Amino acid sequence: MIPRYTREDMGEIWTLQSKFAAWRKVEIAAMRAWAELDEIPQWAVKDVKENTFVDVQRIMEIEKETRHDVVAFVTSLSEQVGDAGRYIHYGLTSSDVIDTAGGMLIKEAGYLLLSALDNLREALAQQACRYKDTPMIGRTHGVHAEPMTWGLKLALWYEELGRARERLTDAVDEAACGKISGAVGTYAQVPPQLEIMICEELGIKTAEVSSQIVGRDRHAAFLTQIALTGTLLEKFATEIRNLQKTEVREVEEPFRSGQKGSSAMPHKRNPIVTERISGLARLLRSNASSAMENVALWHERDISHSSVERVILPDSTILLDYMLFKMTEVISDMHVYPENMRRNLEMTGGLVYSQKVLLSLVSMGMSREEAYSVVQECAMKAWEDGGSFRERISQDERVRSLLSDEELKNCFDVRQQIDNVDVVFNRLGLI
C-alpha cells in the first residue's frame, strides 16, 4: 500500500524485515522442537538463535539467482553460521514456513484492527450519548419520514460495529493458523507432534488438516470480514456526506485550520475524508473477491494464490486500519448543527407528524381508512400548495370534531416522538 494510506504500526507488520523475521521465528521454533525430540543437537539451535539475523539485502541478492525467496532466506541464514546451518529448514517445505509465519502476521495485524475498531466504537458511544436527545428528521427514500435523534443514528452505527467486531474476531482467530505437515500434508518427513509444538510456541492455532498449505478459505473469511467492516464505514461516510450538503448542513466532517477545500473556490468545505473512505471501501471489496478466487487451487496446491496474497493481505489490513483511524477522527471532531436539524425538521410545516394524527383519529373512533384519507388530503395540499400542514389539519372539521386543541398539540410534540430512544440506549448499555 502506498505511504499515503499506511499507518506506521500496521505498515511495519508487512515489511520484508518483519516477514523474514517471522520466518526466522518459525525456523528456530522448528529446530527447538526437533531438538526436544532428540533429532538434532541443542547446540545447533543455540548457534542459529544467537548468531543469525535477517539480512534483507543479502536475501534479495540470493533470490536474484535462486528465483525462490524461501531458498534465498534459508541460504542467507546458513551463511551466518557453521555446521548448525544444515539443520535450518530441516524436514520442512516452504509453505510450512510461509503459512505458519503468515498466521503470526495475520494475528498481529488482526489485533491492531480490533484495537482501532474499539477506538471508533468508543468515539461513537460518546457522541451518541452526547446527542441522544438532539432531534433531527429521519429520512426514508431520501424523503422526510418522522423525527428521530442524531444520537440514535450514531447508536445504530455503534451497534453495527459491535457485530463487525465479533465477526472480525472470529475471522482473525480462524486465519491465525499454522501448519507443519510437509509437502502434501502427510507428515511424511515431520512427526505431527512437531507441528503442535511449533504452533503452540508461536501462539497460533494448528490446522487440523492441511495440504501443502493452510486452506485459503481461512484467508478469504478474514478478508471478507475486513471488506464488510470497510463497507460499514462507507455507510457511515455516505450518511455524513449527505448530511454535509449545503442545503442540508446538519453535520460536517472536521475542517482544520489552514485546510483548503478547493484550488479554485476559497469557500469550499468538502467532505474529503468521508469521500476517501467511501472510495477505499471499494478496494477492500475487490480484495475480498480476489481472496475467494484463491480458494480453488490445483490438487494439493499451485502457486497462483501466492502473488495475490502478497498484495491483498497487506493492502486490506493497512487500508482498514487507516479507514478506522480516519473515521474515528471524523466522529470525534465532527461539526454538528442542531439548529439546522431543527430547521429541516420543521420545513414541511408538520407533515412529519402525519402518522401521529392518523393514529389519534383512529383511537377516537374514526375508521383507519377514513382517517388516512382525511390526513392525506391535508398533507397533499400542504405538499402542493405550501403552507402549514398543522394549520390545515387543525382547521379540518372532521378532525376538530374528534380532537381537542391539547390533543392536536400533542400530535406535533417532537419530544413525544423521541421519548423511547432511551430504550435503545439502555439495550446497548450506553446509559
| Catalytic residue selected from 76, 78, 144, 262 | 262
Cell of 415: 419530544
3-state secondary structure of 183: coil
Are the CB atoms for 155 and 429 separated by under 8 Å?
no
CB contact set of 169 (below 8 Å; sequence gap of 6+)? 114
- 65, burial (CB in 10 Å: exposed 0-12, middle 13-18, buried 19+): exposed
Q: Which H/E stretch holds residue 47?
A: helix 42-51
Cell of 360: 389519534
The secondary structure of residue 135, as a DSSP letter, is E
Q: Which residues of 78-117 are buried (b: 16+ CB within 10 A; e: fewer)?
A: bebbeebbebbbebbbbbbbbbbbbbbbbbbbbebbbebb
- The CB density around residue 51, as the number of other CB atoms within 10 Å, is 13
Cell of 78: 546458513
| Catalytic residue selected from 76, 78, 94, 141 | 141
Is position 141 annotated as part of the catalytic site? yes
The secondary structure of residue 147, as a DSSP letter, is E
How far is 363 from 367, CA to CA, in rounded Å? 9
Residue identified by cell 498449505 is 213
> β-strands 251-252, 177-178: how paired?
unpaired
> β-strands 205-206, 177-178: how paired?
parallel
How far is 306 from 27, CA to CA, in rounded Å? 20
Per-residue CA distances from 238 to 4, 235, 430 (Å)? 22, 5, 25
Query: Catalytic positions, please?
Result: 141, 262
